[in-house]
Amino acid sequence: MFDVARIRADFPALSCPVRGKSLVFLDSAASSQKPFPVLEAMERIYRQCYANVHRGIYAFSEEATLAYENARERVASFIHAPRREEIVFTRNTTEAINLVAYSWGRTNIRPGDRILLTQMEHHSNIVPWQLLAQEKGAELVYLPITDDGLLRMDLLDSLLDERVKLVAITMMSNVLGTINPVKEIVRKARAMGAVVLVDAAQSVPHMPVDVQDLDCDFLAFSGHKMCGPTGIGVLYGKASLLEAMPPFLGGGDMIRRVEWDSATWNDLPWKFEAGTPAFVEAIGLGAAVDYLSGIGMEKIAAHEREVTAYAMERLSALEGLTVIGPPAHQRGGVVAFTFRRIHPHDVAHMLDMEGIAVRAGHHCAQPLHRRLGLTATVRASFYIYNSPDEVDRLAQALEHIGQMLG
């Protein structure tokens, strides 16, 4: 049995009342809450052995360095990366994608090349490629979606030709919840000689992810969406590609030797980690990985499927509420919806008065919303600490809002 009550006890923020009511936190797709083991791991470094990593020949620095590199090892194991050197710490998913666009993209993309995206991408997986395409004279093409939020896989072969040098795709949509057939897309892209980047910001926290099984070239995700702290993210890249890429940033720790007019670069992964890294945050992410692994990613995915299916059934029964996206069995723990003619911001504000935290707006996916004929949606997202009872509170609050506004 998935013991939600036991898990909730690990998250101190969830016991804090909001507007005199117990908190129902339904915005983990934006950023998750943090459990005691993560908070304690970071506090221990700050209290007991804080010192800059890689640079000190004394006990504090050596202990912090060991903890930092052990976190890298645990992250590599979590996503089944073959080598720890293939794990580059970044600030977040956005920076990881920008690193690939800047370093790999500016080295390999030529005029007339194509970059294939999908219509459900987050801005972080659109704008960096727009900038690259404008600079290099390349072209962006988009794999369309159906009206119910699934990729038009029947059109993939016609778009994925020899001109496509990169495919950048989300594994799970942050709006639709759609879980995409990434492994199939990677296989087809590989056959055409294209490199594949996977935006895994919404998948790594919620389901087992194996980069070797996917066979993707790059994969990016953020710590703050998976019980870890802000300011730390991960870029996985195949070592052969990372070795051939120029540095993203210049400065300390990414160099082997500096002359007056030249420099040589450090080994992987430090070639891409210029300056003092967010090592305390990385240690926090390592603790988050241990925490999630202790629960079991298969169990987490199954729990979220159960809560999401119940939420879709419960919310779809409300008069005037329209759920956006595919059926429950084809999505993760995200349910975006519109409610009558009430603006999503107003819905979110009124839910907040009931102690219920949801997201409202375009969720950094304006092109997707325009494709669906919408300007904004309300989004409830679920995680390990959410329960069907909280779905009931959400539904009851929406019913009350509907009655109050007629």
Cα–Cα distance, 404 to 397 (Å, whole number): 10
Distance of CA 365 to the CA centre of its chain: 14
**Both tokens of residue 305?**
């499927």
**Bridge partners, residue 221, by sequence:** 234
- Residue identified by tokens 């093409």 is 141
Q: Is the dihedral of CA 349, 202, 194, 153 positive or negative?
A: negative
Count the residues in the chain. Answer: 406
Single out the residue of 345, 338, 346, 344 nearest to residue 320, CA to CA. 338
Question: How far is the C-alpha of 328 from the C-alpha of 313, rounded, in Å?
Answer: 9
Answer yes or no: 364 catalytic. Answer: yes
Q: How far apart are CA 386 and CA 92, in angstroms?
A: 24
Residue 357, classed as helix, strand or coil, is strand
∠ CA 134-135-136, rounded to 5°:
95
Torsion of CA 173, 312, 385, 203, to 10 degrees: -20
Contact predicate 241/104, CB 8 Å: yes
Q: Where are the alpha helices (DSSP H) in 100-248?
A: 106-108, 127-136, 156-159, 182-191, 211-214, 239-244
Residue whose tokens read 């960096």: 128
Token pair, residue 180, equals 């995409």
Q: How many CB atoms lie within 10 A of CB 105?
A: 28
Cα(402)–Cα(339) distance, integer angstroms: 8
Query: Considering 16, 216, 227, 364, which one is annotated as catalytic?
Result: 364
Type of residue numbered 65: T
Residues with a catalytic annotation lie at 364
